[in-house]
A and B are shown apart, each in its own frame.
Chain A
Amino acid sequence: GDSVTQMEGPVTLSEEAFLTINCTYTATGYPSLFWYVQYPGEGLQLLLKATKADDKGSNKGFEATYRKETTSFHLEKGSVQVSDSAVYFCALIPTYTGTASKLTFGTGTRLQVTL
């Protein structure tokens, strides 16, 4: 079945450091890929998405590129801020078949940014 694997956390960085959170997936066909962020005590927010190979999703300084050849969708940010501290989830939706759009999530990676 479909699955998403993320690097384990927590990831601890100093403010202004470069961030990479690795994500790889297993799915048939051409899934759509997502990064969600969960701040403490809140629900999930969509951070960015990519729906086909070589697409780059970007938002709020974060970006990720859909790499079909390596089945990866790594999240990057050039300079993190303390306010970026949260849990980040990589997720996919299988190739759309007209039925339920089921998100399959990774286990999440906690990011802690310190001054």
Chain B
Amino acid sequence: ETGVTQSPTHLIKTRGQQVTLRCSSQSGHNTVSWYQQALGQGPQFIFQYYREEENGRGNFPPRFSGLQFPNYSSELNVNALELDDSALYLCASSSGQGLYEQYFGPGTRLTVT
């Protein structure tokens, strides 16, 4: 069984650019959540997708957007990058909403210069 995978592993972007991060969920999982983890901090919830629909969002501006595809893989898009967007972006998949265990990928390290 393949776990949650994310790409790319590392990324360097310039302020004002746009970035797309990708996540492949674990087989059989229909729910994907995205988290931002700043250095030395705990992950912060960005949003969650369930069966291709966004069904919850954290305190992040609209320039953070996402998609979930029919195969339940997902993308996180960030427009107009700011220096404070530099962080580890974690994707987690689960087999449903509620209290199903969330399985995390290794993350994408984004650096904005």
Q: Given A43-B105, A43-B106, A107-B40, answer yes or no on A101-B58 (Cβ-Cβ < 8 Å).
A: no
Q: How far is the CB of A40 from chain B (nearest CB, A)?
A: 11
> Hey, which chain B residues are within 8 Å of A91, CB to CB?
42
Stretch of B12-20, B60-68, B94-102 with 4 or more beta carbons under 8 angstroms from chain A: B94-102
CA distance A41 to B107 in the complex (A): 9
From B41, B97, B99, B107, A100 is in contact (CB under 8 Å) with B97
> Hey, which chain B residues are within 8 Å of A43, CB to CB?
4, 90, 104-107
* A interface residues with partner B (beta carbon < 8 Å): 4, 32, 36, 41-46, 49, 51, 89, 91, 93, 96, 98-108
> Hey, which chain B residues are within 8 Å of A105, CB to CB?
42-44
Query: Is B28 an interface residue, CB under 8 A from the partner?
Result: no
Query: Is B72 an interface residue, CB under 8 A from the partner?
Result: no
> Hey, which chain B residues are within 8 Å of A93, CB to CB?
99
CB pair B42–A107 under 8 Å, yes or no, is yes
Number of B residues, CB within 8 Å of A: 31
CA distance A105 to B42 in the complex (A): 5
From B40, B44, B94, B105, A101 is in contact (CB under 8 Å) with B94
CA distance A93 to B94 in the complex (A): 14
Question: Which residues of B, 61-113, contact A by the 8 Å Cβ criterion?
Answer: 90, 92, 94, 97-107
Query: Is B8 an interface residue, CB under 8 A from the partner?
Result: no
Q: How far is the CB of B25 from chain A (nearest CB, A)?
A: 13
